[in-house]
Structures are given as C-alpha cells and as structure tokens.
Structure 1
Amino acid sequence: MTTGIAVLNFGEPAEPEREAVVGYLERIFLANMEIEGDTTPEEARERARSLAERRVPALLEEYEEIAGSPLNAHAEAQAELLEAELTDRGYDVTTYRGFQFMDPFVEDAAEAAHDDGVDQLVGLPLYPLCGPSTTVQALEELSAALDDLEWSPAYHEITGWHTHSAYLRLRADAIRRVLDQNGLELGEETRLVFSAHGTPTYYLDEGSRYVQYVEEYADVVNKMLGSPGYELGYQNHANRDVEWTQPDVEEVVENLDAERIVVDPMSFMHEQSETLSELDIELREEAEEQGMEFFRVPVPYDDERFIDLLADLVEPFVADFDPEYYGFQSCMCRDDPNAMCLNAGRNARAEREK
C-alpha cells in the first residue's frame, strides 16, 4: 500500500518582499476572521486587506532584519528526512509539504498526493501544541481539499503530540545544552522563561485546550530539568482589537528580578520570525534594558530524534496496526472520526472529573 504524508505547517515569506508579505498577512487575517464577529465575504476580504496593510511595515522590517524566514526550508528538510526514515523502515511512502499561508499550500499537497495515486493519506501538522488556528485549521483545510478533489482515499489525521516522551526529552535536552555551553544553573539568578505563541481568547472561550497544553508542557519540562521553577509568557500579536492570552512575555521579562534569563520558544519546531526577530531581537532588547543577560534556546528542528519521533507518530497508520497501541485515541479538539491524538485520554479523564 502506498502512503502519502501531508506534512503541514504555517509557512512564512522566505524573502522580505512587500507583496509576498501582504498576501501572506491577508490570508492569515481572512482565515481567522470569525474572531471579529459576523461579516459578509466581501467585508471579510476588505477587513483582511486593511489589517494586512496596517501590519505589513512592521513585519516587513522583521523579515528584512532576519533576511527572510527559514521556516519553509526547515520544513522541506524535515519532510525529506521523514520520507527517508520511513523508507528505511520498509514503508512505501511519499511526503508532501503543505503550508497554510504560503506556497505550496495545503491544497497543493492534497492535489500532488492525488495525482500520484497514493492509496492512503496521513495529515501530519508539525505544531507541537494543538491549537485551533494551527493544527485544527490545517487539517480542516486538508479535509476540504480532499472534498474539492472528490477523492476518498483511506485517510488519517494526527493532531496533538506534545506529550510524546521523546519530544519532551529533546526539548529538555536543548535547554540543558544552552545551560552547559554557558556555564549556567537555573535558579533565582538565572530564570527559565517559556515563551508560547499567543492565541485570541475567543478560541479558548470556544473550547480550545491550547492554554492547558502550554501549561502542562512547561510543568513537565521544568520537572525534567529538576524543578528549578519557571516563568511563562505569550507572544501575542496585538494587531486586532481582540483579547489575547496573558501574560505577554514582554511583561513577564519586565517584572523579573534576575541576572539573566534563558528563553525556550516552546510553540515552535522551526526557526522563524517569532524566534529570530520577536525573541532574539525584540525580547533580547527588553531583557538587556532591564540589566539582564539573554540566552535563547535554539529550536531543535534538526535533531535526529525529532525525525524518529515523527516517524513513530506516523508508523501505526502506515503499518496498519491499531494506533491505540501507541497511545492514540480519538481527538477531542478536532471533531472528525479520522483525527487521533495523544492528548485525548487525559482530556477525557479531566472531563469526567469535573
């Protein structure tokens, strides 16, 4: 049986070109227009364009500072390595990249798999923490693309996987590496700061468990590091008149009394503008203004163990054995019979205990 794996991600402009950045922003704002209430399609497009034009100068400056985002290149390399690893394990697989907001789009991945005539398709978003506008939305787009193609292969979706032991270990090891390389020890003088990608609270009110996943990740990794304590803040994008997750990571840093901080960008599995600009430039400046040294944990996107982890996630679906053997259960964040995750058991238990 031939298997296609749609490796899904956000996407970012690889070059600091204005029109590319405007189009990218328009697509983001339009895809999440529901947070602003009811609008007609025409009003939504106009509003998305207006928001994009407002945001583009600052974001274009960020991309110019970092010479364009490396996210797409990192994602391409990961997809190629995943295909190679699964091939080495004896499976007939092809990976297809699909970005939500840049070319190649999610629908392009679906169309390429369709044209290749694969027998089954697995949707695999590379977002560590399952969120409504990332993991869930990417898979909704993939499912919609299959409908548009009038194609019904054997189909599976993988949603939440941040609790995988190998993932937690490689993230904790990445923090340890920064500490060891700089002769640091976490404590009162050297504080660990987890920086999570923010989300509008609209999604939380609608039932998203994103903040739960953020908090449990931070708690577990802290314990794996010997429980030195930590701070948690969100990277919010205040370009809409809506409420976002709190506290902002900038406010966390402003209120810290320490000599230095070590920042872990917990929501990302690629280096991108949120790490290279928002953290390495903007948050570093904030910390240094407070008289603190700044250390940022590199995203372990090229750790060989990460590719093994992705292959392990996909393997039950490729090898056609019961995914529950690996701990998968029907996803509670994505209401679709094809969606499975590693979070559902804990979520169901929490629901029973309420």
Structure 2
Amino acid sequence: MSTGVVLLNFGEPPTADREAVVDYLERIFYSNMDIEEDPDLTPEAARKRAGKLAERRAPGLIEEYEEIGGGSPLNEQASAQADALETELRDRGYDVATYTGMLYTEPFTDEAAERAVADGHDEVLGLPIYPLCGPSTTNLSLDHLADGLDSAGFDGELHEVSGWHRHPTYNRLRAENIREYAEREGVDLHDEDTVLFFSAHGTPRYYLDEGSRYDRYVEEWCAGMAGILGLEDYELGFQNHDNRSEVAWTEPDVEEAIESLDAERVVVEPVSFMHEQSETLSELDIELREEAEEAGIEEFYRVPIPHDDDRFPSVLADLAEPFLADFDPGYFQFRQCHCRDKPGTMCLNAPDPDWE
C-alpha cells in the first residue's frame, strides 16, 4: 500500500516581488470574503473587492518582507519538514512520499494533489501543519486537498487529520524550546519582573461565532505550556489584522496586551507557529518590540520557532502512523473532529462538556 502524505500549509511569497505579493493577498481576501457578512456580495464583486484590499495592503507587506531579508522563509522550512517526515516514515517501514501543499502560494494544494495522484498512490493523507485547528487554516486546507484530489480523478481513500496541539511530544519540545532559549539569554522565567507572553495568530470573531473553538484551543495550550514550565502567571495576546475595519477580531489584541504589562522584561512565545515567517520576523521582532519599548519594557526576547527540532518529524510521523499502519486511530487517542463537519476527519481534541 503506497501513501501520499500531503503537508498542508498557508504559504507566503519567498520574495518581495510586488505582483507575487498582490496575487497572494488577493487569494487570501477572496477566500475569506464571508467574514464581511454581505449577502449582496456577488462572486464578481467579491473578487473586485479582494483585489482592492490586496492593492491597499501590498505596500506594507512588501516593506515587511524587505525588512526580513527580501521574502519569507516559510516555504523553504516547510519543504525541509516534508523531506524529514518522509525519511522518518520510510525508516519506520512505510511506503510513502511526502508533498507540500500551500493555500496561497506555490506549490498550491491542488498541485500537490495532482502530483500525488500522478505518482500512483493508493491512499492520501492530509496533514495540516497547524497544531491548532481553525476554519480558515486547517479546514480550508483540507477542503482544497479533497477538491484537488477529486479534480485529479483520485479513486483511493483520503484520510484527514485536523487539530493536534495536544500531542505530548509536541508540547514537550515547545516547552523545552522556551526554557532553553531563556537559559541561553540569561533570563529567569520565574523572576517577578519577567513575563512570559504568548502571541497567537488572531482570527475574525465571525468564525468563533460560527462555532470555531480556535480561541479555546489557544487558551488551553498556553495554560499547558505554563504548567510544564512551572509558571502560575503569563499573558496572551492575538496578532490581529486591521485590513477590514468592519471586521471584529479576537481579543486582547497583542499590541494592547503588551502595553498593559507591568514588567521589566518580556519573553514572547509565538503560539502554534511552526515556521519563521512575516508574522514572527516582522510583526513580533520589529513591530511588537517597538510597542514594548514605547511601553517602557526594558528587555524584549522572542523565542525562535523550533521548525527544525529533531523531534518534530517524529511528531508528524506519530500523527500519520495509524492511517499508514491501518489500525484504529482511537488507539492513539484520535477522535472525530468537532470543528470539521466531515465523518472520518480525526483530531486529538477530546470532547470537553464545558464547551458544548
């Protein structure tokens, strides 16, 4: 049995080329047009509005890419992760090939689906590199993969994994990454003048009102990290985007949260990010640092993303293994996904009666 494992991702332009950045932004705005909740917005009008929003946002994003070296390293790091996963799975004895599929930049998800079908795999596994399940990331990526496979005439079995932020080794490697970074920098996380600050990618309130549990997943993961690190107190902020003034986002906003801190130093941990990208290298390292300095915080530290941690391929392989070995995923604590209304989509988010 041969399996194509498609690592699903968001994607970012690898260069600051204006045309590439505008196209990238237009795809994002168009695919998320539902958040404007305008029943009169036709597909043609939506496409036109997405183009205008992209043109307006492009100069700022191009500037960000230029500030971080001319483009995003996300795609390169994602490709390395796919190669490492393929090696790990083959070492475990599985006949697999891995592919990367991006929502908004090449290689696109439908292109990855076409390659997997052309390579003659009997089954395909969709594995998002988003630990925290969200509708505009995890679910949308899985939708694109399923559509791409259908268009390519795939007649095998498709397996889907969604949220996996509760994987024990993933939590351990992230906590140790924070601790080891603090030790290298000579920072005591338990000092009363030091704050561990979690910065999570924001999401429009629209998705939460529609039933997404993304914000709850963020909160429980931060609490878990603090527990592993032996910390009672920490702060959380969301990296929101103000491209659409009429759209409400998650709270508290990261800038407002950092301004409210009463601390001499802050250690920022980017929640859920598994690649360095503009949201870490620019929004945190440059913009949030400036906000912190203006707020009187004397020392600002940002924990690097452990995208090349030696344990990460093993984490991904653990997530894939039940489907490759053909045993009940429930043995590895997988459950039917609550956030994706499709039977057979599995996640590690056990039911919580308080969330019903």
**TM bucket by the smaller chain?**
over 0.9
Gaps of 5+ in 1: none
Displacement of 1:178 after TM fit? 1.7
State how far apart, in whole Å, the 2-side matches of 1:188 and 1:31 are.
44
| 2:169 paired with 1:166 | yes
Other-structure match for 1:79: 82
| 2:343 paired with 1:337 | yes
Amino acid paired to 2:118:
D
| 2:152 paired with 1:146 | no
State how far apart, in whole Å, the 2-side matches of 1:232 and 1:188 are.
17
Other-structure match for 1:283: 288
Displacement of 1:185 after TM fit? 1.5
Cα deviation, 1:58-95, whole Å, max 9, x if unaligned, reads 11100010121000000000000000000111110000
Displacement of 1:121 after TM fit? 0.2
State how far apart, in whole Å, the 2-side matches of 1:159 and 1:59 are.
29
Amino acid paired to 2:140:
Q
Gaps of 5+ in 2: none
Other-structure match for 2:30: 30
Residue 346 of structure 1 aligns to a residue whose secondary structure is coil
TM-score of the aligned structures, taking structure 1 as reference length = 0.97
Q: For residues 1-354 of structure 1, what are the structure 2 equivalents within 5 Å?
A: 1-37=1-37, 38=39, 39-67=41-69, 68-186=71-189, 187-240=191-244, 241-292=246-297, 293-343=299-349, 345-347=350-352, 349-350=353-354
Displacement of 1:177 after TM fit? 1.0
Cα deviation, 1:189-213, whole Å, max 9, x if unaligned, reads 0100000000000000000000000
1:155–1:338 contact (8 Å) kept in structure 2: no
Residue 179 of structure 1 aligns to a residue whose secondary structure is helix
Residue 305 of structure 2 aligns to a residue whose secondary structure is coil
Q: Which runs of 4+ in 1 moved over 3 A?
A: none
Residue 311 of structure 2 aligns to a residue whose secondary structure is helix
Amino acid paired to 1:196:
A
Residue 351 of structure 2 aligns to a residue whose secondary structure is helix
Give the total of aligned pairs: 350
1:157–1:338 contact (8 Å) kept in structure 2: yes
State how far apart, in whole Å, the 2-side matches of 1:330 and 1:150 are.
26
State how far apart, in whole Å, the 1-side matches of 2:87 and 2:109 are.
21
Displacement of 1:267 after TM fit? 2.4
State how far apart, in whole Å, the 2-side matches of 1:229 and 1:89 are.
41
Cα deviation, 1:291-327, whole Å, max 9, x if unaligned, reads 3210000111100111110001101101111111100
Amino acid paired to 1:302:
D
Displacement of 1:142 after TM fit? 0.8
